[in-house]
Structure 1
Amino acid sequence: MKITKTKMASLGFQHVLAMYAGAVIVPLIVGAGIGLSNAQLTYLIAIDILMCGVASILQVWKNKFTGIGLPVVLGCSFTAVAPIIEIGNHYGITSVYGAIIVSGLIVVLIAKFFSKLIKFFPPVVTGSVVTIIGITLIPVAMKDLAGGDGSADFGSMTNLALGFGTLMIILLIFRFGKGFIQAIAILLGILLGTGVAYFMGMVDLSPVAESTWFHLPTPFHFGTPEFHLVPILTMTLVAIVSLVESTGVYFALGDICDKKLEDKDLEKGYRAEGVAIILGGIFNSFPYTTFSQNVGLIQLSGVRTKNVIYTAGVMLILLGLVPKIGALTLVIPKAVLGGATVAMFGMVIAYGIKMLSNVDFSKQENLLVVACSIGLGLGVTVVPEIFAAVPSGLQILTESGIVIGSLTAIILNIIFNFRKNKQEALASSDKVA
């Protein structure tokens, strides 16, 4: 089927809509978590949208150095939300971007080796990590649903009605909508929820009026980056976890596009993500990773051409150059945002559980890996003060449920499974001999 320019534009815009909600929610959560002003938030959202387009084009464009060469869309990583907020509050926003830049450089350097080390990240590890990510983000969503942490009307019936009403709208759209409408249920829920809030007098349009129509991105907008060891280690771990998540997306797209991926393909894909992370740090946006919701959109539409993603990337860049569009997202009430993120973060948990369904739980070792990693991840999230006596330089690691849970899963898998499988393989070869 020949795709006309009009159809190409429609298909590209469809991908933009499918990922737009996820792309703007991360800067909204991070900005609120580290206390950015409306002006700073407007820039953060605009540059994030723009960099999503740049990162996607960089990944789709396959060359000798970078690019997986598949119709993949990149967006800001949800894995980075909690660590960025913690680093920003402990070390300052300039340390956030110093850590992001260094982590991107590390990803570029390890891409070749990481493409051969995927055996250390079986479903028991990746499934546990993704589940932990979702679990640690749910408290953020629930606080927003109630009106925002520290707000005067926290937990009011108005906020609860608006938050749960938004969640109900999303569920109804997903239940009765089909195809593309179902794919953008989150975005439609946010739009309808904000519309209801407007008639309730809960929408402030002043950020839109105060923002400019056009703004060029500026390197190091929030100041010269600072480099501290603990934030760098934290963001490097986040980047590695994102690579593990992206690997699953790469193979899913490879199946959809009937393309068998080799180590070299993975290496270029990882390296492209590393470059995208570096650019995110330079222009003060975020680490970038693959967006799985766009994979589902490719399956639904049946259109697998890379030109559609190129079109979507250009659209994202143009949208990012207009701050007023980014400022529109600032009018979304916290309760509406919370209702939407309950569904989104809950889906992260569900996806993690789905990944764990491929694990052989007849082995006690796998049960212990999942039990201890998720248990510690959730425990630290609920009771972060447990490590109050730990030296301050390490607290940013111990206070993050994502980091503690992820490290636990990786280490326990090596102890229980990797070494055991290696020993079994050696024993089997000795018997054959």
Structure 2
Amino acid sequence: MNSKVISLGFQHVMAMYAGAILVPLLVGRALNLSSEQLAYLVAIDLLTCGIATLLQAWKNKYFGIGLPVVLGASFVALSPMIAIGSEYGLQAIYGSIIATGLFILLFARYLGKLVKFFPPVVTGTVVTIIGLSLIPSGIRNMAGGAGSPEFGSLENLVLSMGVIGIILLANRFLKGYLRSLSVLLGIVAGTIAAVLMGRVHFQEVAEASWFHLPQPFYFGMPVFEIGPILTMLIVGLVIIVESTGVFFALGKICDRPVTQADLVRGYRAEGLAIMIGGIFNAFPYNTFAQNVGLVQLSRNKSANVVVAAGFILVLLGLIPKVAALATIIPAPVLGGATVVLFGMVVSSGIKMLSSVDFSDQQNGLIVACSISLGLGATVVPELFSQLPDALRILVSDGVITGSLCAILLNVFFHFRSVLGSDAARQEEADKARIS
């Protein structure tokens, strides 16, 4: 592996690094993990990101799509993981992740057929709800984090708004690869400013070791509860739909048509990655769309580049001091970066919805009801507090409530298109075009 391939692989790591560390930081802080536990969560996330990327790049008879894809912790799983952890505990989170990975691995051959349940009106709505449900968390961090004695202080607002300003300036004046690092540049600059303000302490970094080995079931043996498993299965299906779009986009960039067999191998690799995430107490993983842009930008379409990125991530995950550095990022800095990222998730959902035919009022009703219920369950979680436990976990999280609503309403309004024959679906599509 030559120096050019390694440097291009490092570019991929830098492009996805901010997204990779934000998920464990947000989940860990929401579930009140200790500094040591949080450092472990970041480290194991980086390591399993690397393993997941290597699994997908290693094309063989059984798994791996062989395209230059980079996998990272899925933002889709962020809100459901926090909800499951708060209700059932950490061990239930990882039981549900392992079960979801196993389901995807075993049923990969049939998952392509489930894509018809996730047309743009569903996926666009789900992605929009995900972004909207995450924004309050980012705003709270901007103010200093829930429970902070300095919540909303001028110092916190200056820090967080400064991070947003740097991200916007980087996107306005930088080009190419440097522009793709805008969020990471904002976090680094904000953390340096916080150091100068005396708000960052390096004790955890100094105490962290230089090397450690991953430990299966770090937070205890997994617990398998039906409610969390059903919730995470929905997350897994949304991840598969997202990844399918990325596979086709990369296939087009790389001039390599993606076949049904390719998709099945890709799904199996994702299932394996999600299972590994559950075993090592990490996260569900999916393909990172920002790295697709980097492939297009660099014009290097070789899978060897993401193999290099995978090994770099594994190496970083074995060095606790690197993970400890991520845990010292102050809440306002994290908040400024995540507000931008979560806002971009919303804009991605709106972009997906732009391809939906809203002259069909039924599509408008699907979006309206799903976003209203999804956002409502996020803002007023006690709405479903009187339901049985197994059912409540399915609907107490806004993302899952909105997702279920969008899927079921799409089946209700477009029954023939979703469940009918290919001829019926074509007939319905023809009618839509004529109208």
TM-fit CA distance, 1:393: 3.2
> What is the aligned partner in structure 2 of residue 248 from structure 1?
245
User: Structure 1 vs Structure 2: percent identity of aligned residues?
Assistant: 58
Q: Secondary structure at the match of 2:264?
A: helix
Counterparts in 2 of 1:181-192, with a 5 A limit?
181-192=178-189
Verify the 8 A CA contact 1:219 1:283 in the aligned structure 2.
yes
Is the 8 Å Cα contact of residues 417 and 424 (structure 2) preserved in structure 1?
no
How far apart, CA to CA, are the structure 2 residues paired with 1:390 and 1:11?
A: 51
C-alpha offsets along residues 25-74 of structure 1, whole Å, 9 cap, x if unaligned? 00000000111111111111111000000000101111111111110000
Match of 1:116 among 88, 95, 113: 113
Higher mean displacement: 305-314 or 115-124: 115-124
| 8 A contact 1:211–1:323 mirrored in 2 | yes
Aligned pair partner of 2:264 in 267, 273, 287 = 267
Partner of 1:12: 9
Change in CA separation of 1:67 and 1:192 when aligned onto 2, cut-off 3 Å: same
Aligned in 2, Cα 1:296/1:428: closer, same or farther, shift over 3 Å? closer
What is the match of residue 379 of structure 1? 376
1:70 aligned residue: 67
Matching residue of 1:402: 399
Question: Retained in 2: the 8 A contact 1:120–1:418?
Answer: no
Q: Is the 8 Å Cα contact of residues 98 and 232 (structure 1) preserved in structure 2?
A: yes
Q: 1:331 aligns with which of 322, 328, 331?
A: 328
The aligned counterpart of 1:350 is 347
What is the CA–CA distance in structure 1 between the aligned matches of 2:21 and 2:83, rounded to whole Å? Answer: 19
> Which contiguous aligned blocks of 4+ residues in structure 1 show a shift greater than 6 angstroms?
none
Which of 21, 24, 45 is the matching residue for 1:24?
Answer: 21
Q: What is the rounded CA distance, in whole Å, between the counterparts of 1:43 and 1:146 in structure 2? A: 26
Alpha-carbon offset, residue 427 of structure 1 = 10
Give 1:391 deviation, angstroms.
Answer: 2.1
Range that drifts further, 400-409 or 112-121: 112-121
- Matching residue's letter, 1:12: G
Deviation at 1:117, TM superposition (A): 2.6
Q: Which moved more, 1:46-55 or 1:256-265?
A: 256-265
Equivalent residue letter for 1:275: L
Partner in structure 1 of residue 199 of structure 2: 202
**Aligned with 1:115: secondary structure?**
helix
Partner of 1:321: 318
> 1:27 is matched by which residue type in structure 2?
P
Whether 1:133 and 2:125 are equivalent positions in the alignment is: no
Question: Secondary structure at the residue paired with 2:107?
Answer: helix
Deviation of 1:379 (Å): 1.1
Q: How far apart are 1:426 and its partner, in Å?
A: 4.5
In 2, Cα distance between equivalents of 1:90 and 1:121: 28
Alignment partners' CA distance in 2, 1:6 and 1:423: 53
The offset of 1:258, in angstroms, is: 1.1
Distance 1:258 1:138 in 2: 37
Q: Distance in 2 between matches of 1:276 and 1:138?
A: 27
1:228 is aligned to: 225
Q: Distance in 2 between matches of 1:196 and 1:185?
A: 16
Residue matched to 2:303:
306
Q: Decide which of 70, 79, 82 is 1:85's aligned counterpart.
A: 82
For the pair 1:283 / 2:277, whether they are aligned, the reply is: no
SS in 1 for 2:414: helix
Q: Residues 74, 420 of structure 1: CA spacing in aligned structure 2 closer, same or farther, 3 A cutoff?
A: closer
2:166 is the counterpart of 1:169? yes
How far apart in 2 are the matches of 1:34 and 1:93? 9
How many Å separate the matches in 1 of 2:111 and 2:55?
A: 19
SS class of match (1:75): strand
TM-score, normalised to structure 2's length? 0.95
- Aligned residues of 1:67 and 1:271 also touching (Cα < 8 A): yes
Deviations along 1:157-206, one digit per CA (max 9) or x if unpaired, are 11111111101110101110111110010000000000011111111211
SS at match of 1:64: coil
Q: Deviations over 1:356-381 (max 9, x none)?
A: 11111111111111111111111111
Identify the match of residue 151 of structure 1 among 148, 151, 160. Answer: 148
Give the SS at the match of 1:232: helix
The number of residues matched between the two structures is 426
Aligned partners of 1:52 and 1:74 also within 8 Å: yes
Report the CA distance between 1:384 and its aligned residue. Answer: 1.2
Contact 1:129 1:352 survives alignment (8 Å): yes
- Structure 1 portions without partners, runs of 5+: none
2:30 maps to a residue whose letter is G
AA aligned to 1:19 is M
| 2:104 paired residue among 100, 103, 107 | 107
Deviation at 1:92, TM superposition (A): 1.1
Gaps of 5+ in 2: 428-435
Q: CA deviation at 1:116?
A: 2.4
Q: 1:58 aligns with which of 55, 59, 65?
A: 55
Determine the C-alpha separation between the residues in 1 that align with 2:422 and 2:219. 53
Distance in 2 of aligned mates of 1:415 and 1:271 = 30
Q: Secondary structure at the match of 1:116?
A: helix
Distance in 1 (CA, whole Å) between partners of 2:358 and 2:174 is 36
- Cα 1:369/1:424, change in 2 over 3 Å: farther
CA distance in structure 2 between the partners assigned to 1:174 and 1:287 by the alignment = 29
Check conservation: 2:49, 2:310, Cα contact below 8 A: yes
Q: Distance in 2 between matches of 1:428 and 1:27?
A: 44
Instruction: Report if the CA contact (8 A) 1:373-1:405 is conserved.
Output: yes
| Cα distance, 1:426–1:234 mapped onto 2, change above 3 Å | closer
Q: Residues 77 and 424 of structure 1: is their aligned pair in 2 closer, same or farther, counting only changes over 3 Å?
A: closer
